[in-house]
A and B are shown apart, each in its own frame.
Chain A
Amino acid sequence: MPLLIFLLFLMFAPTAALADWDFSRHSIPLNEIQSGGPTRDGIPSLTNPRYMSARGADFMREDEQVLGVYLGGVARAYPTRILSWHELVNESFGDLPVLVSW
């Protein structure tokens, strides 16, 4: 029985997830969209996050991986161990809206 329930879940879960979205317009075949596991916002993005200066960042190791962005005279580093938990950072560099995606 648990297996059957699991199979039913696999069959219906992707459809259920698709039904939450407006596909009145789309450019890809809908049958090629899969459910990724986590639900909507199951992986929560960050919006206008806080920063520290390099000097104050004692938690950072020299050899750890970061995604670095330098734009309009501003440099920011995004440690990938934080990005992996959020995948998206809604950002701005000056007036420019920027999405950091991992």
Chain B
Amino acid sequence: MSGLLYKANVLMYDRQSESLWSQVRREAVGGPMTGARLEVLESTLTTWGKWKKKYPQTQVLSLETGYQRDYTRDPYESYYESRKGFFSFFKADPSEEEKALVAGIVLDGEARAYPLELLRKKGGLTDTLEEARLAISFDAQTDRISIRDAEGQTVPHVILYWFVWKGMYPESTIFKP
């Protein structure tokens, strides 16, 4: 990590060109690679128990990382619980939780966020964005989130706090039932 932040979000750097890449924007924003984009691949935020059940052959990252760290605890444990975000300069609407976890998508330049709590409760949603009909599904067995358009094409999403997404995409709307 570069140690730099843009809009309350980390800037990563690559060792080849030392360009700076925004994690949430998924593109290089400084240095020789400026403008280059990263492709988002599917990942699932879940529990070890559910993941292992779905993929019994799974590997798991070893504690032998080459670094001495106290891996018995997550240094952000209290941050996850707190309702206030780090470096937040965005004032959430009183009806919104700034630290609500959302799945964020950008479709034809339009940004939209789906609260995970709502997805969990409903199991699935449908939405229309930029004239595209979207099906958002959440599988409680695996915690997998899938967002597809009418042609069945996957629309890649990232999971993050609402204030980080809104900070990066101020025009973003949040899905409300």
Taking Cβ atoms with an 8 Å cutoff, the residues of A that contact B are 17-18, 21-28, 32-46, 49-54, 57, 59-71, 74-82, 84-89, 98-101
Q: With A39-B3, A69-B41 known to touch, is A59 a contact of B63 (CB < 8 Å)?
A: yes
Show 16 residue pairs from A and B whose CB-CB distance is below 8 angstroms, ordered by the A residue. Answer: A21-B30, A22-B30, A25-B34, A27-B35, A32-B6, A35-B5, A40-B3, A45-B1, A50-B64, A66-B46, A68-B51, A76-B58, A79-B60, A79-B61, A82-B61, A100-B43
User: Which of chain B's residues have a CB closer than 8 A to the CB of A17?
Assistant: 3-4
Assembled-state Cα–Cα distance A78/B47 (Å) = 10
Segment touching A, from B73-81, B125-133, B169-177:
B73-81
Q: A21-B31, A35-B5, A88-B1 are in contact. Are A77 and B61 (CB under 8 A)?
A: yes
Closest to B9 in A: A36
| Chain A residue at minimal CB-CB distance from B55 | A75
Complex partner residue of A64 from B18, B48, B67, CB under 8 angstroms = B48
Q: Indicate whether A68 sits within 8 Å of B61 (C-beta atoms), given known contacts A34-B87, A98-B41.
A: no
The verdict on B62 contacting chain A, using a C-beta distance below 8 Å, is: yes
CB within 8 A of A36: which of B5, B20, B57, B76?
B5
Q: Are B5 and A34 in contact (CB under 8 A)?
A: yes
Question: Please, how many residues of chain B have a CB less than 8 angstroms from a CB on the other chain?
Answer: 58
Chain A interface mostly helix, strand, loop or mixed?
mixed
With a cutoff of 8 Å between Cβ atoms, the chain B residues found around residue A28 in the complex are: 6, 22, 29-30
> Is residue B95 contacting chain A, with contact meaning CB distance below 8 A?
no
Query: Contacts A60-B48, A64-B48 hold; do A54 and B4 have CB atoms under 8 A apart?
Result: no
Residues of A within 8 A of B11 (CB): 33
CB interface residues, B 6-37, toward A, < 8 Å: 6-7, 10-13, 18-20, 22-23, 27-32, 34-35
Indicate if B82 sits at the interface (CB-CB under 8 A).
no
Task: Please pick, from B29, B59, B87, the residue contacting A77 in the complex, using a CB distance under 8 A.
Answer: B59
Residue of A nearest to B63 (CB): A59
Contacts of B75 in A (CB 8 A): 84-85
Select which of A69, A75, A82, A88 is within 8 A of B63 by beta carbon: A82
- Chain B residues lying within 8 Å of A62, measured Cβ to Cβ, are 47-49
Alpha-carbon gap, A80 to B76, bound state (A):
10
Determine how close the nearest CB of chain A comes to the CB of B104; give it in whole angstroms.
14
Nearest first, the 3 closest Cβ-Cβ pairs linking A and B are: A75-B55, A62-B49, A51-B59
B151 to nearest A CB, angstroms?
A: 22
Interface contact A77-B63, CB-CB below 8 Å: no
